[in-house]
Structure 1
Amino acid sequence: MSGVTGTSETSGTPGTSGGTEEELLGRVVDTLLREDAYRLRTRARAVRRPDGGDWLRIALEGGEYVLLPVEEDGFQCEIRARRPVRLEVRLEVRLESAPPPDAADVPGAEAVTGLDAVLGVLRGVVPAEDRAGYDAFVGECRQALDTALLHDRVRPAVLNRLTVRHGPLPPAPGPGWTGMAGALAYETLAAFRDHPVYPTGRARSGFDESALRAHAPEFHPTFPVRWIALPREAVTGDPARLPGWWPTPAGLGLARGLNRTHLAVPVHPLTVGRPLAEALRETGLDGSARPAERAYLDVVPTLSMRTVAVADDPLVHLKLPLTTATLGLRNRRTVKPGTLTDGEVAQRLVEAVIAREPRFTDTVLLTDETTHLHAGHELLATLVRRYPPGLEHTRIVPLAGLLARTPDGGLVVDALADRYYGGDLHALLDAYYRLLFDFHTTLLAHGIALESHQQNTSLVFEDGPPGTRTRLRLLIKDHDGPRVHAIRLAAMLGGGEAADLCGFDDRRILTGGDVPVTDVFTTITVHLCAAAPAFELAALGRAPLDDLLGRLRHRLTEAVDRMAGTRPGATADLLRARLLEAPRLPVKAMVTAGTLLPKERTGAADINKHYVTGPNYLLPRLLPRGSGG
């Protein structure tokens, strides 16, 4: 059973274009198979070659077909492309003496390798009306390859800077890699990695190399924010909640009289220019807005790039709209005003659950996202995110960086295990799984599932008092985009309180049943936060896959049983039926909904919650054998 290696930083020979391109190509073809794009997998015919290998026979236009070597996988899809990825292109033989249609050993094959060549051949599977979306995705792939090759070139110098600033990893007791500055360093390590399942996550449309070097987290730069003064009556939000250092228009070099009539709003440097001018024109503010020529406030980009950390006030981050798209051409990195409201509402909702469940008071931390401004446009908005105090001596590691490579070539998770768990990787994972599943199944019992994926969830490590265990906590940010079963929430909190806590702008958040909520729990909490690291650790030979998945299932089952014991009812039964015992699980089809097909074709109300299905790797009878390495 092969593991999932798609989240590694390089493949083949690190730092070589061939290895990096091969890794990306494998991830891309795996994704097309997993999402069954254009019915690529289900229309194909499985064949076995004389050498014992498995192949897919895929028909193309014009009487040709291709053979794709595949192997068993198990993480969200039964198969994946065998490495190195190659196609064999053949002419269809229609003679009476021709081999049977499922034969694969037909002479005259033309071998095809390389990103452009393989994707060019597979274009023959795409219906004519869908080729524009496919070609856009090929463009994403090329952008991702260019960025990955850039990462290969700059990574050694960036890691050297981090080591000089923070010290070596694994960290010794002391200030190295601690607090919010250390968190940004871990996010930089994470930025060199790929998304667990989205193959072109490094692509950022519209930004060239100079823009990335100056503003992307993998380069760990510092840069000043730009500002614009908008009429106060045009801005929604409470200025009294802003940080004390927030500039006045006069402080930005504008006329002093504007202090009475205008409010300064931050703008990402990459949004200044035509995008900002168009936003002002669309809102009718082009005549009354006053752009400041003077930049102010040094910031450092976080893993999401559009969110930046204030250098001199490290507990404050600003989310600033960008015109780029990531994880699909329709996934634009602007900030829709409604999402600011939704993030605040979701935060208060989760806080209400934590208040009812005191064991999470000291183990789950939430960022404060109740301060925000907008002028009615997705490029004229900002979120002021505040982190809780008391993190100075902790190590804050995003889940996305848990398996990142340290400057000396090891894994961050191993360095943390060495520092906090006596070198016992399993003890670290066990503590993490226990807390993760306890918290999220408790939310689920209240009808809530969060989009708290690997980028939005961090682990907070802290030494306990002498003779005690390490203190491990979850830190969750970016609260908008959950799914909430309003009826179940009302049953838990009471109708009045639930209604007060459900004032979401995006009405898709509220559902009339449990299924949309459990789908988010499965695809985010289980697939991305729990299973993806397990499969990758197995692929790296760090532990047998069946051991890791067995541990995951045990802690998940324990959380479901606890839910059933404290709150008997349908939710625990539903989780058992739809997750622990189901033959197949929902799987995000992010490429299909985000780039390949328009919403009219997919029917996806939300491109981030459009699903296909994959095998349930948690079923005891299907737990893979061996390490997967």
Structure 2
Amino acid sequence: MNATPAPEASGTDAPHGPLAVEQAVVPRQHTGPYDPLPTPGPAAPAGHAAPSSGAPEDHLDDPDPRRAADLAATENLLRCWVRERNLPAPASATLRVPLDASGTALQVPVIHWSLTGWHRFGAPALEGLPATAPPVDAVTVAALLGRETGRSEGTELVGRVADSVLRTAEFITARRRRPNPGPESDLFLTAEQSLLLGHPLHPTPKSREGLSETETHRYSPELHGSFPLHWAAVDRAVLVTDSAWTEQGRPVSAEQLSTGLAEGLAIPPGTVPLPLHPWQARELLHRPAVASLLDAGLLHDLGAHGAPWHPTSSVRTVHRPGSRAMLKLSLGVRITNSRRENLRKELHRGVEVHRLLRTGLVDQWQAAHPGFDIVRDPAWLAVDTQDGAPVPGLDVMIRHNPFGAADDAVCVAALTAPRPWPGATRMRSRLADLVTRLAARTGRPTAAVSAEWFLRYLDQVVRPVLWLDGTAGVALEAHQQNTLVLLSPEGWPIGGRYRDNQGYYFRESRREELEKRLPGIGGVSDTFVSDRVTDERFAYYLGINNVLGLIGAFGAQGLADERVLLAGFRQFLGSATALGSPLPHRLLEAATLRCKANLLTRVHGLDELVGPVDTQSVYVTITNPLRS
């Protein structure tokens, strides 16, 4: 079912719309579900650069793509370091980063100091060197910061930063040449392929170990890659599947779904077609368990077949416009922190959540929040050995494709990502573009439109996620790449979707009532998590990464004053305490928050898909900007 935009409330483009705010700092009289945003108090902290219309040239627009990519990577490393060391705002326009292990320091120009962590920095210099010395590049910054951690794995960080910089430079080069390489007939795919720089608080957002230059062009969403799937035929004796997929009320097996996607492919009798990522298919041939199945005639390599599929922002999930399904494939490439191969418990989890929602929970949820839903993962296929053990990496999750070509569904990470646009000389984000257009259309200040857009986002996207936690005890790992906002034709938030069969936390304290909803829940999916860990992760993913990250994007891109949006977020959280989730109280009352430390996680060499959920990543304590 397509995510057809709901009719927009009358007056949303008029100066007196239902959530209208005349100015970011002096709100108008307001008649919507929220009180007016309060006027901020004293001046911003030292080092804070307020938004201005005459913004200086941005180093992301450097004519040399390699320099632009290197400075973007340097900013990422410094943002991570500032957050993970909980460094305060500097007293001047220069941030001093001590490097005690190397007996020196970095002197970093501060372009914009963000209350929520999305700082903008200029090229750093080593303290004590002449002013004519060249700035310190990203690889050197990575080596210096890695040394400060005192861990030998810091050398691995250097290699991944270099890899990420090279790939980012390639992406910028290609997109500058062809900002719009084809007709934007599928809005979802256009958004999914727009994340050129990646996570602004990750040290190696575009590192992809294992891909050759040719493979990078073929498999990268940033380069508009596409490819036919590689197919294997699996003997039913070693095939494992599950499906809760239905069409017109009738169940559809995973075997039927896969066979339909393999239309025209000849397969041996007694087998079922299994789609694979081409890179993964080549890699699997070297694994003993796979070789044994091939030798026994239980697995057959059929090669490439069918029309091209397109990689989405996760690289391994592929999309084909018009198809009823997307496919989440295993891909053993290390992307950011992890090798992206499906775990069997995650395959079970996707189907289990679909069944849980169908117990009546989704009807109850959408009665309260009709614009929000979960993108379902209701079927999968995998392979066991002859002894019944799972064969890692030989599997596929079959995901609903709820988006039609005209549905403007964009993940928040893509919405805030700077990128070149046709006819423009500077990189800017989709968020900046739509807010600017709304301001021009309504004749209102950009800051006022930004505030209204943000309040609508909280209501349409964040409130439903809090409802699910409060009502059912299910917290979503709703970071910016997993959270999609549905936009009206004018660009206002009108709904949302969550995606990711990995990212569910069933609260241990709610086990009994979840068992009543779906007997046996969590038995094989390993989804129940202690409330302590759930609270920590929920606060990070939804609170810090998603909402505070969005506030940071508004501020860093000169669209709004972060203090105003923080005040709006506090106001929203006050109204959301009635939903029953503990998160609003936590965000409002805690002086500090636990925050994922992407740089330290990388330096410690952790794979976030391996091991118990409470030890997969490094977490640090940061000051809560909602209280500071």
TM-score, length-scaled by structure 1? 0.77
**Contact preservation (8 Å) 1:4, 1:536:** no
Please list the CA deviations of residues 457-494 of structure 1 after superposition, one character each: whole Å capped at 9, or x if unmatched. Answer: 21123469xxxx9771112222323222132353xx46
Partner SS for 1:119: helix
Identify which of 459, 468, 485 aligns with 2:507.
485
Say if 2:483 is the partner of 1:457: yes
Please list the CA deviations of residues 399-434 of structure 1 after superposition, one character each: whole Å capped at 9, or x if unmatched. Answer: 111123443445322444577795533332221111
Identity, in percent, stands at 20
User: Given residue 441 of structure 1, which amino acid in structure 2 is its aligned partner?
Assistant: L
Identify which of 327, 332, 354 aligns with 1:323.
332
Counterpart residue number, 2:38: none
Closer, same or farther in 2 for the Cα pair 1:536/1:373, shift >3 Å? same
CA drift of 1:269 comes to 1.0
CA drift of 1:334 comes to 1.2
Please list the CA deviations of residues 188-222 of structure 1 after superposition, one character each: whole Å capped at 9, or x if unmatched. Answer: 12x21321321311111111221111111112233
Identify which of 354, 366, 379 aligns with 2:374.
366
Higher helix share: 1
- Distance (whole Å) between structure 2 residues aligned to residue 220 and residue 108 of structure 1: 41
Please list the CA deviations of residues 338-371 of structure 1 after superposition, one character each: whole Å capped at 9, or x if unmatched. Answer: 2111122233335554333343462112223111
CA drift of 1:524 comes to 1.1
Counterpart residue number, 1:192: 196
Partner SS for 2:70: helix
Say if 2:302 is the partner of 1:292: yes
Closer, same or farther in 2 for the Cα pair 1:15/1:580, shift >3 Å? farther
- Distance (whole Å) between structure 2 residues aligned to residue 199 and residue 380 of structure 1: 30
**Contact preservation (8 Å) 2:317, 2:329:** yes
Partner SS for 1:292: strand
Counterpart residue number, 1:152: 172
Say if 2:545 is the partner of 1:528: yes
- Distance (whole Å) between structure 2 residues aligned to residue 616 and residue 209 of structure 1: 42
Of 474-483 and 234-243, more deviation after overlay is shown by 234-243
Identify which of 80, 84, 97 aligns with 1:35.
84
**Contact preservation (8 Å) 2:97, 2:106:** yes
User: Given residue 498 of structure 2, which amino acid in structure 1 is its aligned partner?
Assistant: I
| Counterparts of residues 157-168 of structure 1 (less than 5 Å) | 157-162=177-182, 165-166=183-184
Counterpart residue number, 2:187: 182
CA drift of 1:4 comes to 12
Counterpart residue number, 2:342: 335
Q: Where does the alignment leave 5 or more consecutive residues of structure 1 unmatched?
A: 91-106, 167-176, 623-629
CA drift of 1:372 comes to 0.4
- Distance (whole Å) between structure 1 residues aligned to residue 301 and residue 607 of structure 2: 37
- Distance (whole Å) between structure 1 residues aligned to residue 506 and residue 475 of structure 2: 7
Say if 2:463 is the partner of 1:438: yes
Identify which of 218, 229, 234 aligns with 2:233.
229
Closer, same or farther in 2 for the Cα pair 1:116/1:438, shift >3 Å? closer
Closer, same or farther in 2 for the Cα pair 1:348/1:609, shift >3 Å? farther
Counterpart residue number, 2:272: 263
Say if 2:352 is the partner of 1:345: yes
Please list the CA deviations of residues 594-622 of structure 1 after superposition, one character each: whole Å capped at 9, or x if unmatched. Answer: 4434589x997556553111111112xx3
User: Given residue 501 of structure 1, which amino acid in structure 2 is its aligned partner?
Assistant: I
Closer, same or farther in 2 for the Cα pair 1:136/1:276, shift >3 Å? same
Identify which of 309, 327, 331 aligns with 2:319.
309
Counterpart residue number, 2:139: 116
CA drift of 1:379 comes to 1.4
CA drift of 1:591 comes to 3.0
CA drift of 1:135 comes to 1.0
Please list the CA deviations of residues 308-358 of structure 1 after superposition, one character each: whole Å capped at 9, or x if unmatched. Answer: 1135x4331111111211122xx1111122211112223333555433334
Closer, same or farther in 2 for the Cα pair 1:244/1:327, shift >3 Å? closer
- Distance (whole Å) between structure 2 residues aligned to residue 243 and residue 420 of structure 1: 46
Higher relative contact order (CA 8 A, sep 6+): 2
Closer, same or farther in 2 for the Cα pair 1:502/1:270, shift >3 Å? same
CA drift of 1:283 comes to 6.3
CA drift of 1:583 comes to 1.1
Please list the CA deviations of residues 260-295 of structure 1 after superposition, one character each: whole Å capped at 9, or x if unmatched. Answer: x21111111112324334164376454321101352
Closer, same or farther in 2 for the Cα pair 1:31/1:248, shift >3 Å? closer
Identify which of 404, 407, 417 aligns with 2:422.
407
CA drift of 1:2 comes to 3.9
- Distance (whole Å) between structure 2 residues aligned to residue 500 and residue 520 of structure 1: 24
Q: Where does the alignment leave 5 or more consecutive residues of structure 2 unmatched?
A: 1-46, 52-56, 243-251, 384-389, 443-448
User: Given residue 502 of structure 2, which amino acid in structure 1 is its aligned partner?
Assistant: D
Closer, same or farther in 2 for the Cα pair 1:134/1:439, shift >3 Å? same
User: Given residue 240 of structure 1, which amino acid in structure 2 is its aligned partner?
Assistant: S
- Distance (whole Å) between structure 1 residues aligned to residue 236 and residue 126 of structure 2: 60
**Contact preservation (8 Å) 2:84, 2:622:** no
- Distance (whole Å) between structure 2 residues aligned to residue 294 and residue 54 of structure 1: 53
Of 527-536 and 497-506, more deviation after overlay is shown by 497-506
CA drift of 1:381 comes to 0.4
- Distance (whole Å) between structure 1 residues aligned to residue 396 and residue 69 of structure 2: 36
- Distance (whole Å) between structure 2 residues aligned to residue 110 and residue 393 of structure 1: 52
**Contact preservation (8 Å) 1:586, 1:613:** yes
Closer, same or farther in 2 for the Cα pair 1:495/1:533, shift >3 Å? closer
Closer, same or farther in 2 for the Cα pair 1:416/1:481, shift >3 Å? same
Counterpart residue number, 1:55: 96
User: Given residue 459 of structure 1, which amino acid in structure 2 is its aligned partner?
Assistant: V
**Contact preservation (8 Å) 2:374, 2:497:** yes
User: Given residue 410 of structure 2, which amino acid in structure 1 is its aligned partner?
Assistant: V
CA drift of 1:303 comes to 1.1
Counterpart residue number, 1:94: none
User: Given residue 354 of structure 1, which amino acid in structure 2 is its aligned partner?
Assistant: V
CA drift of 1:126 comes to 4.6
- Distance (whole Å) between structure 2 residues aligned to residue 553 and residue 147 of structure 1: 39
Closer, same or farther in 2 for the Cα pair 1:607/1:306, shift >3 Å? farther
**Contact preservation (8 Å) 1:523, 1:588:** yes
Closer, same or farther in 2 for the Cα pair 1:610/1:519, shift >3 Å? same
**Contact preservation (8 Å) 1:222, 1:298:** yes
Counterpart residue number, 1:510: 528
- Distance (whole Å) between structure 2 residues aligned to residue 333 and residue 485 of structure 1: 26
**Contact preservation (8 Å) 1:321, 1:382:** yes
CA drift of 1:89 comes to 6.1
Say if 2:424 is the partner of 1:425: no
**Contact preservation (8 Å) 2:142, 2:161:** no
Counterpart residue number, 1:541: 558
Closer, same or farther in 2 for the Cα pair 1:52/1:13, shift >3 Å? closer
- Distance (whole Å) between structure 1 residues aligned to residue 264 and residue 521 of structure 2: 38
Partner SS for 2:319: strand
Counterpart residue number, 1:626: none
CA drift of 1:146 comes to 0.2
Say if 2:123 is the partner of 1:84: yes
Counterpart residue number, 1:98: none
Counterpart residue number, 2:28: none
**Contact preservation (8 Å) 1:144, 1:201:** yes
Of 414-423 and 477-486, more deviation after overlay is shown by 414-423
| Counterparts of residues 586-601 of structure 1 (less than 5 Å) | 586-597=594-605
Say if 2:285 is the partner of 1:276: yes
Partner SS for 1:30: helix
- Distance (whole Å) between structure 2 residues aligned to residue 499 and residue 585 of structure 1: 35
The alignment's C-alpha RMSD in Å is: 3.7
**Contact preservation (8 Å) 1:310, 1:318:** no
